[in-house]
């Protein structure tokens, strides 16, 4: 075989291999997209826990005579405690009880203006509601999961969150934000879509951190602080495999508590 023939054969083999590789890549991409689309359809049509209508959104917890603390929760379903049916099991109820414990505990006036399904774009309305009547001392914002599962642009979601924090700080409210939790831990979404929303959640959380700090709020990275526990223990999620259970909210509450205590202390120094 002469050199020209060899080059011709080599070129032909390379071309066939290239076309085969391209076809395999295209088939894999199409197949992967089909899998993700199917999993997204299943995830959207699962039956998820709903807000408990009988759950009080306002409560006072702590001994009479203790220093008062007005704590308001803003955000999505987690700010309401979706997944549990008792006030003491919600994130707000657990935090209020922790703040009320001990001889130096606070008398916590707890309220929530969160709305299940909320995204960061909904926070402006919630801030307006939170500032009606007596001004809260501390606001806890739990948001980001719906931005991440909807694959919203992290910078856009973070901008709305930063604006909400800025408005609350202008009103002299201390603000703590629990960033997007570890969505790679949820059981309601199957792999590989679970990994996709987990990646989206991490991007949202990073953008949130920057925006909140720039607006003067405090940040608790829920994914880093509590994600390993949620991944290891399915009992941290309620029966729908997406929302936290009482145990899950307890894990969050203990992660958030130091920042809430610091924010509460800041209100007494004014």
Residue 74 DSSP label: E
Q: How far apart are CA 182 and CA 202, in angstroms?
A: 7
- Taking alpha carbons only, the member of 216, 134, 124, 229 closest to residue 181 is 229
Instruction: Tell me whether residue 190 is exposed, middle or buried, using C-beta atoms within 10 angstroms of its C-beta: 0 to 12, 13 to 18, 19 or more.
Output: middle
The single residue of 76, 77, 122, 166 carrying the catalytic annotation is 77
Residue 67 DSSP label: P
The single residue of 156, 233, 240, 247 carrying the catalytic annotation is 240
Contact by Cβ (8 Å): 148, 197: yes
What is the full DSSP assignment across 246-267?
A: HHHHHHHHHHHHHHHHHHHHHH
Is 85 noted as a catalytic residue in this protein?
Answer: no
Phi and psi at 179, nearest 5°, equal -70, 170
- Taking alpha carbons only, the member of 128, 151, 158 closest to residue 219 is 158
The neighbour count for residue 78, using CB atoms within 10 Å, is 27
Contact by Cβ (8 Å): 80, 86: no
What is the full DSSP assignment across 146-201?
A: HHHHTT--HHHHHHHHHHHHHHHHHTT-EEEEE----GGG-SSS-TTHHHHHHHHH
What count of Cα atoms within 13 Å lies in the side-chain half-sphere of residue 43?
20
The single residue of 76, 120, 122, 243 carrying the catalytic annotation is 243
Is 243 noted as a catalytic residue in this protein?
Answer: yes
* Residues that are catalytic: 77, 240, 243
């Amino acid at each position: 075989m002469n050199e020209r023939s060899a080059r011709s054969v080599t070129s032909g083999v390379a071309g066939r291999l290239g076309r085969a590789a391209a076809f395999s890549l295209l088939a894999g991409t199409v197949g992967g997209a089909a899998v993700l689309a199917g999993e997204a359809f299943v995830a959207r049509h699962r039956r998820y826990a709903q807000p408990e209508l009988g759950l009080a959104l306002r409560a006072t917890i702590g001994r009479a005579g203790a220093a008062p603390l007005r704590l308001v929760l803003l955000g999505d379903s987690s700010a309401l405690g979706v997944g549990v049916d008792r006030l003491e099991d919600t994130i707000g109820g657990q935090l209020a009880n922790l703040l009320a414990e001990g001889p130096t505990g606070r008398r916590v006036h707890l309220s929530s203006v969160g709305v299940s399904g909320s995204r960061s774009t909904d926070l402006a309305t919630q801030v307006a509601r939170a500032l009606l009547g007596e001004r809260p001392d501390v606001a806890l914002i739990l948001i980001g999961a719906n931005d991440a599962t909807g694959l919203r642009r992290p910078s856009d979601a973070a901008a709305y969150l930063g604006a909400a924090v800025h408005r609350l700080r202008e009103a002299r409210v201390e603000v703590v934000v629990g960033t997007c939790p570890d969505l790679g831990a949820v059981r309601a979404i199957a792999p590989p879509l679970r990994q996709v929303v987990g990646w989206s959640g991490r991007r949202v959380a990073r953008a949130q951190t920057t925006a909140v700090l720039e607006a003067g709020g405090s940040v608790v990275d829920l994914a880093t602080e509590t994600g390993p526990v949620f991944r290891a223990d399915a009992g941290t999620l309620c029966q729908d495999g997406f929302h936290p259970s009482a145990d899950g909210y307890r894990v969050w509450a203990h992660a958030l508590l130091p920042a809430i205590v610091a924010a509460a202390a800041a209100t007494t120094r004014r």
